Amino acid sequence: MGQEDLMNTAEDVADQFLRITKQYLPHLARLCLISTFLEDGIRMWFQWNEQRDYIEVTWSCGYFLATFFVLLNLIGQLGGCVLILSRNFVQYACFGLFGIIALQTVAYSILWDLKFLMRNLALGGGLLLLLAESRSEGKSMFAGVPSMGESSPKQYMQLGGRVLLVLMFMTLLHFDSNFFSILQNMVGTALIILVAIGFKTKLAALTLVVWLLAINVYFNAFWTVPAYKPMHDFLKYDFFQTTSVIGGLLLVVALGPGGVSMDEKKKEW
């Protein structure tokens, strides 16, 4: 079997998977995507005093502002999750969660930590894909109205979402000299480039989902660490952030790459 035959077989398997799961995949994707906001909102409730004290000491902003910060994070994240899962005011919920990401990036000094900054940007990429999906649903209400083609904002949201999502994988590359690390880096880099440019997008994104899921369960198994240890919270944070990026990739699989992609341009050739 040649390389082209192997690729065609893999694409057939991916298409068959999509046909079987197309009714459930968008729901699963949304649930995965908002999981880090859901977990963080719940954590704000159970660690209210610790979070408030941290902000008050770090920023010397006083008790009232620190309390307001925690309350805003709690309500903003849990409220946004409920709206997205119930499919109500999705665009407003996404903009609210964008605001939460920006606020936390500054408040927790993530701006100066490249790894965490890239992961937050990847999370923003997932939200961009949610916005693109909500625009699709809005347009479907007017199915009988003539259209000039796919809207440009939606196309560029999908492009931006794809490009930002791959930043997560940049944080997973290991610059070691052993064979396994080199192979993993080569395969991973090839896949993220395919997703970013939108070539064989669904197959590449689905492969990344499987790869990232395996890495997440193996390396971020927070349930194996006692809850009183700091590593438990660190691994839990990583686990749910990675799960959110998996949700973004599942949206790419469900929605396709959009108009600004090589897959779409191939149809015109």
Please give the Cα distance from 215 to 232 (Å, whole number): 17
Q: Is the pLDDT of residue 42 over 50?
A: yes
Mean pLDDT over all residues of the chain? 84
Q: Is the pLDDT of residue 140 over 70?
A: no
pLDDT in tens, 19-34: 787 788 989 999 999 9
3-state helix/strand/coil string of 205-230: HHHHHHHHHHHHHHHCCHHHCCCCCH
pLDDT in tens, 144-198: 444 444 557 888 888 888 888 888 777 776 666 777 778 777 888 888 888 888 8
pLDDT > 70: percent of the chain:
88
pLDDT for 175: 65
The single-letter code of the amino acid at 66 is A
Q: Show the CA angle centred on residue 125, arms to residues 59 and 233, nearest 5°.
A: 50
pLDDT in tens, 82-123: 999 999 999 999 999 999 999 999 998 887 888 888 888 989
Evaluate whether 125 touches 167 at the Cβ level (below 8 Å).
yes
